[in-house]
Structure 1
Amino acid sequence: MIPEHWSPHHREEDGEVLGYLRPEPGGHVPLTPFGHPVTGPLPEAEARAALDNLGLSYLAGPWLLTLPHREEPITVRILEVTPERMRVANADYGYEAADIGHVFVLDVPEPGRLRAAGP
């Protein structure tokens, strides 16, 4: 569940939640809707601009999910994010323990098992 002290940031055109601002010393950390930091602490206006610039593009890219019984993370795609949980689908052909498309349900905010793939 999203902590109460995180402030939601909505897209101006349609009110869609683009992420949250987490207050910290030195500013606000812009976070994806599942709690992944976009940058470090920034002044509030810059943190909001970072979320506006990111939009929902994070949904299109692959992510890496760390599993407790596996040394290497697996590639997943984000299917859905709510303030309580997120669903990601296995997209890793080298992961034999689950079929492609197998859905993993993660808590939100996601505690660090998920990271963006690539640079």
Structure 2
Amino acid sequence: MSALPADWIAHRRGSDRELIGWIRPEGDDWVAVSLFGADVSGPLEWVEAEEALEEVGLSWLAEPWMLERDAADPVRVRIVDVSPASPDGRPGRVVVKTEDFGAVDVPYETFELPWPPAGLRPMRSGEGVSPWG
């Protein structure tokens, strides 16, 4: 997907108007879509789609993720920035950095991924829990 589809409707959190995703039409129903452009619900009524996005919110941005790269072991990363594509064709991007485990003196590497991000997935239980591998 190179541009945000024109029929996706931005959904902003009521408390601070922060963009938390979109709601897109599917037949007579609506589907909640994350900032990564991934469906977070199946077809629902409008209010239920809004509730699905509100429930997910932005909390997933604070979680560790795994970046899968060509022929390399997955790397534990943190999301630094999500800039979705725009309806006018401006490409989006997702920036991640290697996990630093909260240390200020640990070197890290950043990766800029296209939006929606390829190779980025939630961390699985027990995966990447140690800073040493």
TM-score category, normalised to shorter length: 0.7 to 0.9
Residue 45 of structure 2 is matched in structure 1 by 43
Measured after TM superposition, the shift of residue 114 of structure 1 is 1.7
User: Which of 65, 90, 113 is matched with 1:106 structurally?
Assistant: 113
Measured after TM superposition, the shift of residue 92 of structure 1 is 8.1
Whichever of the two has the greater Rg, that structure is 2
Q: How does 1:2-17 map to 2 (within 5 A)?
A: 2-17=4-19
Unpaired runs of 5+ residues, structure 2, are 85-91, 126-133
Write the deviation string for residues 13-51 of structure 1: whole angstroms up to 9, x where unpaired: 221101112323473332221213323332221111011
Distance 1:55 1:20 in 2: 11
Q: How does 1:36-75 map to 2 (within 5 A)?
A: 36-70=38-72, 72-75=73-76
Distance 1:28 1:100 in 2: 43
Unpaired runs of 5+ residues, structure 1, are 94-98
Measured after TM superposition, the shift of residue 102 of structure 1 is 1.0
Residue 124 of structure 2 is matched in structure 1 by 118
Q: Runs of 4+ in structure 1 displaced over 4 angstroms?
A: none
Distance 1:114 1:45, change over 3 A: same
Distance 1:53 1:2 in 2: 23
User: How high is the TM-score relative to the length of structure 2?
Assistant: 0.70
Q: CA RMSD in A?
A: 2.4
Measured after TM superposition, the shift of residue 101 of structure 1 is 2.5
Distance 2:107 2:24 in 1: 34
